[in-house]
Structure 1
Amino acid sequence: MQIAESTSGAVTIAAIEGRLDTATAAAAEERLAALVAAGPLVVDLAAVRYVSSAGLRVLLKTAKQAQAAGTRFAVCALQPAVLEVFEISGFDRIIDAFPTQAEAVAAS
């Protein structure tokens, strides 16, 4: 798993590539926690083909950290399989998910 970081105005964009699973969850959690502490964060999942329950926990924990800090958190560009996991688990009602990075940044 790789996380590429960029910014758009005041919003940090973390583009994850690879799997978000048990093997990568700890590293992803650490990096996303640091990024969300700095301000609004959009996690681009366009290059993520698989998210396990451990990966979902990372995203949920990051969303809760953002809420506690009073900042925005969203995900975008979910692939069909990842979007299905989000919808089945109900995460689409907990975490803001946008079809494109531009829409997520505009909402942040």
Structure 2
Amino acid sequence: MDITESTDQGVKVAALKGRLDTATAPAAETKLIGLLEGGAKVVADLAEVHYVSSAGLRVLLKAAKQAKAIGGSFAIASPQAPVREVLEISGFDKILAIHPTRDAAVSALA
């Protein structure tokens, strides 16, 4: 998994690429939690993630909980259809802020 960081309108964006599964979840978790330090606003851009396992879902949930605990914000942007389906089946679409595009997610948090 590759993770590229950028900042847009004061919002940190982590663009993930590849699979978010048991093998890549620890690195993704470390990166996302690190970006949240200091109560930051963070968007996880999943446009180039084609698979999310239960371990990947746990990472996204942990990042959202961490953001809430420290006064930050966390949102998901651009999930591909198979990833969006996993998020919906698992009920994560009800507890995580999921936006259709990176721009929409950044605007919502900015």
**Secondary structure of 1:22's aligned partner:** coil
User: 1:10 is matched with which residue?
Assistant: 10
Gaps of 5+ in 1: none
Whole-Å Cα distance in 1 between the matches of residues 72 and 31 of structure 2? 17
Whole-Å Cα distance in 2 between the matches of residues 73 and 24 of structure 1? 20
TM-score by length of 2: 0.96
Q: Percent identity?
A: 57
User: 1:96 is matched with which residue?
Assistant: 97
CA deviations 1:62-100 (Å, max 9, x no partner) are 000000011110001000000000000000011100000
User: 1:53 is matched with which residue?
Assistant: 54
**Secondary structure of 1:23's aligned partner:** coil
Whole-Å Cα distance in 1 between the matches of residues 31 and 102 of structure 2? 19
Whole-Å Cα distance in 2 between the matches of residues 99 and 3 of structure 1? 19
Q: What RMSD over aligned residues (CA atoms) do the two structures have, in Å? A: 0.6
How many aligned positions are there? 108
Gaps of 5+ in 2: none
